[in-house]
Structure 1
Amino acid sequence: MRPPSQFTEDFAAEAEEQDPRMGAMMICTRLAGRAIIRVVGRCNEAIENSNLDLSNCQLMRVPDAVYHLMRHTELKTCDLSENDITKITPKFTTNFSLITDLNLSHNQMAKLPDEIASMANLERLDISFNTFVSLPSAIFKIPRLQELNASNNHIVDVDSEDIEEAPSLMKLDLTRNPLTARCHDLLCRINKIEVLLTQREREDWEDLTI
């Protein structure tokens, strides 16, 4: 007797002979099913260790089912990296308000909700490898945030006053962002916290002497 996986592949091949779209639809359904099983499995693990790892789960958003499964668990960390998430909602910040470490890297985010400032225990935030063109001011209002990784985005300007007024920030990584010359110079003058920057290449016109 053929194993279930082989049976599914043979059935998909037969369906594709009748309608080319059917085989592709079955493959997509199977992949989606695997992703759901992976998410549920990782939620069950988080119930045991309080660390929710939903990285590389083909997510475009945080499913409502995750909030339901985690409703009685006080999470310490949450990893949503390596997905296709475009945004997190205020519901996320409300349900996971106690986490200390949040990894949102390698997604498609360009903004964060203002409610992220209410995550009173958050100490480390990673938003690297996304599509931010600016840093949301709400980030700098997170009371215990110590480390922010915003490298590899499309950020051109940052309010240096927001950075200096952040209550607990100690390290900010802005490497590999297309910062303007003025912004880069202002950030270089900050002494209160450690700001990591990619060395700026001088423009041709800056080398001209008058």
Structure 2
Amino acid sequence: MGNSSSTKAHMETAQKTGTLGLANCGLNKLPDGLDKLKANLRTLDVSGNKLNKPDSFPPCLSQFQMMKTLVMVGCELVELPEGIFSMKKLETLNVSNNKIKSLTSKVGQLKSLKSLNITNNSIQSLPDSLPQCKNLEVIEASYNILQSLPTGLGQLNIQELNANRNRLSDIPAELKNCPRLKILRLEENCLSLNDNLRTILGDSGVSLICLEGNLITQKELDNTEEYKKYMERFTATKKKIF
């Protein structure tokens, strides 16, 4: 199971720093003795390990109440480890480049979550409980097979939603109610210029909406009043930046 001496050294360092980096260590399960770090471990990165077995994650994972950042990129995960949902202070969760097909409703228990990255999985839908994550600011969900977005997203204070390369045929009009949403990436989906999209273009505060690769032509967009309103916001924001 990986280089045990190197893993031990990393864990000894983590006792002092609160940060444990075990990326690409050839692990098939998290190391023994991890429970000794539960009192102060704040950041854990286990990317690039094969953690897809029932015993890959120890029961003590649920006891890491100080955890703020958890990175598990490219670990061949098919589901989120159960212990994650007890991490009350977790702010950043990155499980991109795995084999996850669905997200349990328990995601809504992550009340402190600010950034969720599920890019490049096989997820068909986001749980209806997601709007319970009131502190969520960024959702990265590109390269999945999403067919819809959950109702209730308009209640969140998200600043960026990235859902490029999915199978979305519609998006909820209530996204216009997100007071801080500025970036909405929807490239290469199955969207048409329907009422919901018109509402977001015309009535939201979003200053960057990416729609390339959908069932909409630029000519269609240019001929709508809603798109003209969006372009006014886009131009105003660009002037502030430059």
Same fold (TM over 0.5): yes
* Structure 1 position 179, deviation (Å): 1.8
Alignment-derived partner of residue 149 in structure 1: 117
CA-atom RMSD, angstroms? 2.7
Unaligned runs of 5+ in 1: 1-31
Q: Does residue 104 in structure 1 map to residue 72 in structure 2?
A: yes
On the 8 A contact 2:112/2:133 being kept in 1, the answer is no
2:99 and 2:6 map into 1 onto residues whose CA distance is 26
On the 8 A contact 2:62/2:82 being kept in 1, the answer is no
* Structure 1 position 149, deviation (Å): 0.5
Alignment-derived partner of residue 78 in structure 1: 44
2:119 and 2:104 map into 1 onto residues whose CA distance is 14
Q: State which structure, 1 or 2, has the greater radius of gyration over its C-alpha atoms.
A: 1
Question: Measured at CA, do residues 158 and 43 of structure 1 come closer, stay the same or move farther in structure 2, by a change above 3 Å?
Answer: same
Within the candidate set 88, 93, 100, 2:57 is matched to 88
* Structure 1 position 46, deviation (Å): 0.8
* Structure 1 position 129, deviation (Å): 0.7
> Structure 2 length normalisation: TM-score?
0.61
* Structure 1 position 37, deviation (Å): 1.4
Alignment-derived partner of residue 131 in structure 1: 99
> Structure 1 length normalisation: TM-score?
0.69
On the 8 A contact 1:124/1:145 being kept in 2, the answer is yes
* Structure 1 position 63, deviation (Å): 2.2
1:40 and 1:114 map into 2 onto residues whose CA distance is 25
* Structure 1 position 67, deviation (Å): 2.6
Q: Does residue 190 in structure 1 map to residue 190 in structure 2?
A: no
* Structure 1 position 88, deviation (Å): 3.1
On the 8 A contact 1:156/1:178 being kept in 2, the answer is yes
Alignment-derived partner of residue 41 in structure 1: 9
Give the AA of the match of 1:93.
Answer: S
On the 8 A contact 2:74/2:98 being kept in 1, the answer is yes
Question: Measured at CA, do residues 50 and 115 of structure 1 come closer, stay the same or move farther in structure 2, by a change above 3 Å?
Answer: closer
More displaced stretch, 194-203 vs 48-57: 194-203
Bigger relative CO (Cα 8 Å, ≥ 6 apart)? 1
Partner-residue secondary structure (3-state), 1:186:
coil
Alignment-derived partner of residue 146 in structure 2: 179
* Structure 1 position 39, deviation (Å): 0.6
Alignment-derived partner of residue 200 in structure 1: 188
On the 8 A contact 1:88/1:112 being kept in 2, the answer is no
Unaligned runs of 5+ in 2: 150-167, 192-214, 217-242
Question: Identity over aligned residues, as a percent?
Answer: 24
**Greater percentage in helix:** 1
Question: Measured at CA, do residues 197 and 153 of structure 1 come closer, stay the same or move farther in structure 2, by a change above 3 Å?
Answer: farther
1:124 and 1:188 map into 2 onto residues whose CA distance is 27
Alignment-derived partner of residue 170 in structure 1: 137
